[in-house]
Chains A and B, each alone.
Chain A
Amino acid sequence: MGRDVRIEGMTLEQALAAGTRRGYGEHYLRKSVVRDPFQRENTGDNTPPYVHIRQLEGDKLRLRFMPKGSGSENMSSCVMLSPSDGAAGVRRVVAECVDAAGAKACPPITVGVGIGGSFDECPKLAKLALLRKIGSRHKDAFYDGLERQMLEDVNALGIGPLGFGGKTTALAVHIEAAPCHIASLPVAVNLQCHAARRAEVIL
């Protein structure tokens, strides 16, 4: 969101909720959200959407949208490693997460990996990584290499499409890294099933 953007009449979050309500109300998409984790009454319109906002220079609003199934979301995880665990430790966490998910995450999957940040920031990085286009390379040579290594690790598991066995368990591993505390090495793994829908618009 550019800092010169002004939303009329409501907050950005309210506007996005209104858009979600309209989109799911007018079209034949499933209503998949419950109001309370224990009462589990359906909100009937898929609100609230979960929104992450970044403010940048400019007067444009870039919206990136990802509806996500929970079969793969449920198989995701966040682990707080020690700095000494290094890249080998991160590779192990990613391979173990995909191994444990097996067929449940509806492979072939995309693997979003957040490395660094804080306990709350790290899974957000992993989700952000899923928004990157499949087939694109990481800008940083080290992370590009690590992504390739992790994709090898994951595809060596043999889980395969729909979990029936095969060479392709994941189509891509995408990493987003961020600064972190001297004491920690957070890793989050967000799995995305093969129905990986995304949309983007710049207003």
Chain B
Amino acid sequence: MSGKPKRIVTPLSREVLAELRAGDECLISGELIGARDQAHKLLYEMIQRGEELPFQISGAVIYYVGPTPARPGAVIGSAGPTTSARMDIFTPDLLERGLAATIGKGQRSEEVRQAMMRRGAVYFAAPGGLGAYLASRIVSAEVIFAAELGPEAVRKLVVDEMPVIVANDIYGSDVYSIGRERYRRPRR
């Protein structure tokens, strides 16, 4: 985790995805889809029923976020990442349909890591607890589906140089297990 951050723009091409390595710092720009818990359940059910999703899944980047309400004149409220693990159960199906990357916090399941390797997708960690700062990187936000879910609604977000770290690359490397191995000490 050093050196100059890589500037990347969505939709992420295969070439860009192949260049990313676990631990790389990136500044991501372009369109993201904001979706978390209930939204994932709805998307999953739509896939099961064979319905079309409310956004283009192929090449998409999903950010696990449930923002706070926007103050008057603001684009969005605080918009930090939520724990990704709850979306693990839904993620392999979305990856199979072409989802290129996800952004959240915390480690992913073995199933998701395998599916990411198989499909050439990556997982980015966004810094937890920096919701106000991350919101400042969002230039536009629009609810595109399931508005009734409030903070959990599906949003189209356009971001400008949002800081993220590659947690899992397409080669199976995982920043969480690498970091832990480096610092783990035997218990006294």
Q: Which residues of A contact B (CB under 8 A)?
A: 28-32, 40-42, 44, 71, 74, 95, 102-106, 152-153, 156-160, 162-167, 193-195
Contacts and interface: CB of A to CB of B under 8 A. Distances in A.
A163 B22 CA distance: 13
Given A74-B83, A103-B107, A160 B151 contact: no
A146 to B, nearest CB: 13
A106 B151 CA distance: 20
B180 A156 contact: no
A107 to B, nearest CB: 9
B129 A103 contact: no
B182 A28 contact: no
B11 to A, nearest CB: 27
6 shortest interchain CB distances as A-B pairs: A165-B179, A158-B183, A158-B184, A71-B83, A104-B106, A103-B106
Main secondary structure of the interface of A (DSSP, over half): loop
5 contacts: A28-B70, A44-B150, A103-B176, A163-B179, A166-B183
Contacts of B183: 158-160, 165-167
A106 B185 contact: no
B78 A30 contact: yes
Nearest to B67: A30
Interface string B89-108: 00000000000000001110
Contacts, number: 111
Given A164-B1, A195-B128, 20 more contacts: A28-B68, A29-B69, A30-B151, A32-B66, A40-B38, A42-B149, A74-B83, A103-B176, A104-B107, A156-B184, A156-B188, A157-B184, A158-B185, A159-B183, A162-B105, A163-B179, A164-B165, A165-B176, A193-B128, A195-B129
Interface residues of B, number: 40
B125 interface: yes
Interface string B148-168: 111110000000000001000
A110 B38 CA distance: 28
A160 B70 CA distance: 32
Give the residue among A30, A32, A160, A167 with the most B Cβ atoms within 10 A.
Answer: A30
B182 A95 contact: no
A42 B178 contact: no
B180 A71 contact: no
A194 B130 CA distance: 11
A30 B176 contact: no
B172 interface: no
Contacts of A105: 83, 106
Nearest to B37: A40
